[in-house]
Amino acid sequence: MHYLAKKGFDSIDTGLNLLFCKIMEKFLYRLSCFFNLTHGYTMKPSVKLFVVTIICHFVIAGCGTTLKQVSVSDAEVQIEREKQQDAVFSLFTERSDKLHNISYPLLMVAGDIFPKQTRPIYGFLLHDKYLYGKLLGHEYEEVAERHNIGEKITVGYIHPDFPVGATGLKIGDQIISINDKLIEKMNAYEAMKILQHLKEDAPIKLSIKRDFQINKLVIPCVLGCKYPINIANNDVINAWADNKSVTVTTGLIRFCESDRELALVLGHEISHNALKHVVKTRTNAIIGSIFDVAIQLATGVSTSNTFGSIGASVFSIAFEEEADYAGLYILSRAKYDISGAGNFFRRMAAEHPSSIKSGFLASHPTSPKRFVSIEHTIEEIEEKKQNGIPLFPEEKAKDVKDAEDVQETNDEEEIFSGIYFDTTLFS
Residue range 248-307, pLDDT digits in tens? 999 999 999 999 999 999 999 999 999 998 877 777 667 666 756 666 667 776 766 665
Rounded to whole angstroms, the Cα distance separating 35 from 52 reads: 10
Q: What is the mean pLDDT of the segment spanning 100-112?
A: 96
Q: Where are the beta strands (DSSP E) in 74-203?
A: 118-121, 124-127, 154-158, 174-178, 181-182
Q: What is the mean pLDDT of the segment spanning 193-218?
A: 93
pLDDT at 5: 47
* Backbone phi and psi for residue 418, each to the nearest 5 degrees, phi listed first: 85, 0
Rounded to whole angstroms, the Cα distance separating 313 from 282 reads: 10
pLDDT at 371: 93
| 420 — pLDDT class (breaks 50, 70, 90) | very low
**Percent of the chain scoring above 90 in pLDDT:** 57
Is 278 in contact with 422 (CB distance < 8 Å)?
A: yes
At 367-386, the pLDDT tens digits run 899 999 999 999 999 999 99
| 411 — pLDDT class (breaks 50, 70, 90) | very low
Confidence check: pLDDT of 181 > 80: yes
- For the 123-220 domain, the top CATH level (class) is mainly beta
**Chain centroid to CA 145:** 25
- Give how far Cα 355 sits from Cα of 113, 235, 362, Å: 30, 19, 10
Provide the terminal-to-terminal Cα distance of the chain, rounded to the nearest Å: 52
At 72-93, the pLDDT tens digits run 999 999 999 999 999 999 999 9
Q: What is the mean pLDDT of the segment spanning 305-330?
A: 76
Rounded to whole angstroms, the Cα distance separating 245 from 377 reads: 25
CATH 2.30.42.10 positions along the chain are 123-220
Structural Rg of the chain based on CA atoms: 29
Bridge partners of residue 239, in order along the sequence: 248
Torsion-angle region of residue 215: left (phi > 0), alpha (psi -120 to 50) or beta?
beta
* Backbone phi and psi for residue 181, each to the nearest 5 degrees, phi listed first: -95, 115
Confidence check: pLDDT of 137 > 50: yes
> Mind giving me the DSSP string for 384-400?
HHHTT-----TTHHHHH
- Which of 120-134, 136-150, 407-421 has the lowest average pLDDT? 407-421
pLDDT at 412: 38
Question: Which residues, in sequence order, are CB contacts of 283 under 8 Å at separation 6+?
Answer: 406
| 389 — pLDDT class (breaks 50, 70, 90) | very high
| 43 — pLDDT class (breaks 50, 70, 90) | low
